[in-house]
Amino acid sequence: MLTVKTELLEALRTALEDLLPGAGAKAAFESPKVAAHGDLATTAAMQLAKPFKLNPRQLAENLCTSLRSTPAFQTWVDALDIAGPGFINIKLKPAAKQQVVRSVLAQTTRYGSQVDNGQRMLVEFVSANPTGPLHVGHGRQAALGDAICNLFTTQGWRVHREFYYNDAGVQIQTLTTSTQLRAQGFKPGDSCWPTDPDNPASKAFYNGDYIQDIANDFLAKKTVKADDREFTASGDVQDLESIRQFAVAYLRNEQDKDLQAFNLKFDEYYLESSLYTSGRVDAAVSKLIANGKTYEQDGALWLKSTDYGDDKDRVMRKKDGTYTYFVPDVAYHIAKWERGYSKVINIQGTDHHGTIARVRAGLQAADVGIPQGYPDYVLHTMVRVVKGGEEVKISKRAGSYVTLRDLIEWTSKDAVRFFLLSRKPDTEYTFDVDLAVAKNNDNPVYYVQYAHARICSVLASWGGDAATLAQVDLSALDSPQAHALMLLLAKYPDMLSAAAEGFAPHDVTFYLRELAACYHSYYDAERILVDDEAVKLARLALVAATAQVLHNGLAVLGVSAPQKM
């Protein structure tokens, strides 16, 4: 049906241009609010009437007359109706709706995808410092980032997945000292165990059992290997540099295991420390100073970020000579731009909201050709975990939070991905562990996967060659339930495009749940394996196309499409 819609859209554009030169750009279709009113609709007459000083109803009638004379509308359209002041409803012929089945079966996994557009983009996500296991917030970010990468891949972008982390900051020093104390035989609660001097009641150091595991392996002089580094411990508890290197490599290896359990792999790991050692931070600061975008006050160096819409100027270099955290971010994004990424998306927690204005201000002040609004941000809230009706807040392994691996082990990779993508990123979300393992229609991932498995079971019972279904006569697909299913299949490509544009993988979960429900309704309304061969093959072709779209959509989310359940 995508080809049908393209032909009809071109006919609409031409008709508008003939009636009102310059109006062709208003050619667009939408779905009628009431399905019974039609399959497609256009508001072009209503939008154009006022600027051209015409009666919208009369313009709609003139447009319909013009459209009825076009080959595309004669071939694919059953009726054109005008509603209200100029709203045009379009009812398609059955053959037009049936074309989507052929398109899906011909294109298979490529259905809904666009051709390579030659553009490169970088998505930075997770980016957890190696100080502990990944928590469920990182899991939400991992699911979001990977799904957004998959969405843009379907739209023809060449996508680069990047993980950015600090391997030498204050948190890493805290990790190092925590590991050293454990290696020396101390534990949290001992009199020597450090606390935050500004808040003695809170523990400043890392207290999880995983710190003891690191210390034990360090004393055993083990070698640990992560995707981006490898290190062998010296075993000397006074060798802080060896402890630091080993602890970072150990926890990077742990994070790799978390990501492997999530079936996620990054193209590159980028170190914050490299921005300093390569001179990129100093170069970025020098650009800002040379451009007159900074000033000295109270012994600190300030960025004139209010010149670019920030609510106040920001300190870049503190009195002690160290840089504030947004300065390496500016240097990092200049590096992204210089590496050729015209589009960049950062997936971060909502606590990073204040970073956006100052990073963008720094990039504009650097004046290196970066467009305004670069980079794009997707901010997400944290996740509450409920198990047995009660909130779970602590993991023994991590010491203070539920880890991503805990959640996967309690449920499954598929459930974690689907659930964490089932709401808008900036909305609060409660992950119900009991619901995620339930095998019923209340569990959304089970409901969608079951629809796919149910179709596979029907195809297996038939036992024929599925490849032959792309050529069968589809005229028997004439019931309201079949038409509803075909129209929904036809919406998949536009849904993908809109979801990518809006950084909204939750739209894919909504669509898949709707498609699964539509299939279940069709299955309940019509037997598929009937005696009439022509009817049977047509219905098999429809459900095979439905299975393919379910498979494609689940793949965007990083969720499997099982053939048996």
Mean pLDDT, contiguous 10-residue spans, the chain (565 residues): 85 95 92 85 93 92 96 95 92 94 96 96 96 93 98 98 92 93 92 65 71 97 96 98 97 95 96 96 97 96 95 95 94 98 96 93 97 97 94 73 93 98 95 97 97 97 94 96 96 97 98 98 96 98 98 98 96
- Rounded to 5°, angle at Cα 120 from 118 and 123: 150
Centroid of chain to Cα 298: 43
Q: How many CA atoms lie within 13 A of 247 on its CB side?
A: 31
Closest CA to 385 of 327, 345, 433, 342: 433
Using the structure block, give the residue that is written with the tokens 């590096």: 335
> What does the chain come to in residues?
565
Question: What kind of architecture, by CATH, is found in domain 278-380?
Answer: 3-Layer(aba) Sandwich (3.40)
Structure-token pair, residue 85: 């002041």
Report CA-CA distances (Å) from 323 to 285, 293, 356: 10, 16, 17
| Contact criterion met (CB below 8 Å) for 310 and 353 | no
Q: What is the assigned CATH class of domain 2-92?
A: alpha beta
Beta-bridge mates of residue 77 = 92
Confidence (pLDDT) at 524:
95
Q: Locate 554 and state its tokens.
A: 């689940």
Domain covering 441-557: architecture: Orthogonal Bundle (1.10)
Distance from C-alpha of 496 to C-alpha of 400, rounded to nearest angstrom: 38
Sign of CA dihedral 480, 484, 486, 487: positive
304's CB contacts (< 8 A; 6+ apart) are: 293, 294, 295, 313, 365
Q: Find how far residue 5's CA is from the centre of its chain.
A: 27
Maximum Cα–Cα distance across the chain: 89
Exposure string for 491-528, b = 16+ CB within 10 A, e = fewer: bbbebbeebbeebbbbbbbebbbebbebbeebbeebeb
Tell me phi and psi for residue 273, to 5 degrees.
-60, -30
Residues 37 and 14: their CA atoms lie apart, in Å, by 24
120-124 and 158-165 as β-strands: parallel, antiparallel, unpaired? Answer: parallel
Q: How far apart are CA 24 and CA 468, in angstroms?
A: 40
Letter for the amino acid at 212?
Answer: Q
Residue type, 444: P
Tokens 């536009």 sit on residue: 494
Structure tokens at 156: 């023809």
Q: Which pLDDT belongs to residue 202?
A: 40
**H or E stretch at 486:** helix 480-490
Check if the beta carbon of residue 255 is closer than 8 Å to that of residue 134.
Answer: yes
3-state secondary structure 521-556: HHHHHCCCCCCCHHHHHHHHHHHHHHHHHHHHHHHH
Output the six-digit token pair for 108: 């298979």
Is-contact 549 492, C-beta < 8 A? yes
Which amino acid, one-letter code, is at 420?
Answer: L
Say yes or no: do domains 125-276+381-437 and 278-380 share a fold.
Answer: yes
Domain ranges of the chain: 2-92, 125-276+381-437, 278-380, 441-557
Joined together, the tokens standing for residue 418 give 């689907």
Helices (H), 117-162: 136-154
In 3-state terms, the chain is what percent helix, strand and coil (to 5)?
A: 50, 15, 35
DSSP 8-state assignment for residue 87:
E
For 547, residues 6+ apart whose C-beta sits below 8 A from its C-beta are: 452, 455, 456, 459, 561
Give which of 271, 284, 273 is closest to 162, Cα–Cα.
271
Structure tokens at 41: 């609709």
Residue 1 CA to chain centroid, in angstroms?
A: 27
Nearest to 497 by CA among 112, 224, 212: 112
**Cα-flanking dihedrals φ and ψ of residue 406, to 5°?**
-55, -50
Q: What residues pair up with 42 in beta bridges, in sequence order?
A: 88
Superfamily of domain 125-276+381-437: HUPs (3.40.50.620)
Tell which residue, 75, 70, 1, 68, has the closest CA to residue 40: 1
What is the reported pTM? 0.91
The answer to whether residues 136 and 405 touch, using CB atoms and an 8 Å cutoff, is: no
> What is the C-alpha to C-alpha distance for residues 470 and 187, in angstroms, rounded to an integer?
66
